[in-house]
Amino acid sequence: MSIVAFDSGEFIRSKKSDRGTEVVFHTPLGTGVSIKKEIKGDFQKQYHSSVEKHAKAFKVPTRRYVYSHENLWKEIGHAKTVKICDSVIKDLQKYIDRVFVSYVVIPKETQYIEVGGYGCPIEQKRTPIFLRSIAHMFSYMTAWAYSGRHLRENDAYLIDHFTGEVTTAWRDLSAFPDLKIYPGGDECNELISVADMLAYLTEKKLWDAKMWLKPESVEQVWNSYKFHTEVRFIDEDTLSKIRPFSKELINVVDFLARPMVFVNVTGIGFSRLTGDPRVSVAAYACSLDGAFEGFDKFIDSSKIRDGDIFVYAGEEAKTLANSFKDMFDIQVHSVRELREKVANFF
């Protein structure tokens, strides 16, 4: 049995014209990475050793337990981020069985994509707008594309968090028995972090090699690495599977990785929580093989389950945390307490 993690990015090519920079090709670009379940511990140990070594070598200002490529390039720029990510992949390649790459190919003649139709009107979306609209949910679409070739393998799927409307692909995938979704996955799960780095590097390697996005090109840029590379693109024949047929949003609550670490800070939105507090929350979630996200009492109250963790800062957040502790068997910690718990991780 294997564990397969999925994340996604984008492949964009543009040109300069009299009207400025013009996008000539765009597609979501998803990656999956698989390892044998029995070597998970060895993989994780090597991952943490590798990222710590390379982060020190490149003097990354913020020390983290798990790195996304975005965390890196915001602090040290793209050139150094590429070197770190590639070095990490090389350190881990002996543990990786397969790298899977997926993207969408739609002919230029197809100017509109139909969406909706189930409980809502059919809408014609311009193809570029449609492709942008599915980019933020392409992690699970990549998992679905992978499953089409590996349906009988009974693998565990770890998918970076996404939002979007219901599709046939999601209906198919959600029937899988071992499927977990990780909010903040590329910051709190080692294998999803690697999938994130692979998506980033695939785009960059193709750019450096002046290659177009084709199966043979993707295979070529990864040819010198020890893992097998597999490519499957989604085209007009399978487009109906990833086309949202409803306005209904996908409900991921039953698929969330547990325990979830929920964070509420009085007076500060979670997206603005940076530095040591966010790094510590992500590290703690990773140590539990869980995930993390900000908590909004108007949106997220239905997500809490026994065994989860609620992290707070401020009196209002503390009161909210203790209210949920009276209803669920959860742990409650202040941000400061959590920072102390993971201090030895760094």
**183 is a domain residue:** yes
Same domain (yes/no): 177, 307: no
| Positive or negative torsion for Cα 238, 156, 67, 186 | positive
**191 is a domain residue:** yes
Same domain (yes/no): 222, 314: no
Same domain (yes/no): 97, 195: yes
Please list the residues that pair with 264 across neighbouring strands.
312
Same domain (yes/no): 141, 271: no
In whole angstroms, give the CA distance from residue 325 to residue 306.
9
Q: Are 12 and 23 in contact (CB under 8 A)?
A: yes
Cis peptide upstream of residue 183 (ω within 30 degrees of 0): no
Q: Are 280 and 338 in contact (CB under 8 A)?
A: yes
- How big is the CA angle at 11 (ends 8 and 14), to the nearest 5 degrees? 155
**249 is a domain residue:** no
Instruction: Give residue 316's domain range.
Output: 258-345
The full length of the chain comes to 346
Which of 85, 295, 282 lies closest to 186, judged by CA?
A: 282
Same domain (yes/no): 41, 157: yes
Same domain (yes/no): 210, 94: yes
Which of 185, 181, 191 lies closest to 89, judged by CA?
A: 191
**236 is a domain residue:** yes
Residue ending a domain, choose from 242, 268, 299: 242
| Positive or negative torsion for Cα 204, 206, 209, 210 | negative
pTM, two decimal places: 0.96
CA dihedral 268, 271, 273, 278 (to 10 degrees): 140
DSSP state of 250: P
Residue ending a domain, choose from 188, 213, 242: 242
Residue ending a domain, choose from 211, 242, 273: 242
In whole angstroms, give the CA distance from residue 158 to residue 257.
9
Cα-atom radius of gyration of the chain, to the nearest Å? Answer: 20
Same domain (yes/no): 94, 177: yes
Tens digits of pLDDT across the chain (346 residues): 899 999 999 998 887 766 767 777 899 999 999 999 999 999 999 999 999 999 999 999 999 999 999 999 999 999 999 999 999 999 999 999 999 999 999 998 999 999 998 888 999 999 999 999 999 999 999 999 999 989 878 899 999 999 999 999 999 999 999 999 999 999 999 999 999 999 999 999 999 999 999 999 999 999 999 999 999 999 999 999 999 999 999 999 999 999 999 999 998 877 777 788 999 999 999 999 999 999 999 999 999 999 999 999 999 999 999 999 999 999 999 999 999 999 988 7
Q: Residue 199 CB: number of other CB atoms within 10 A?
A: 29
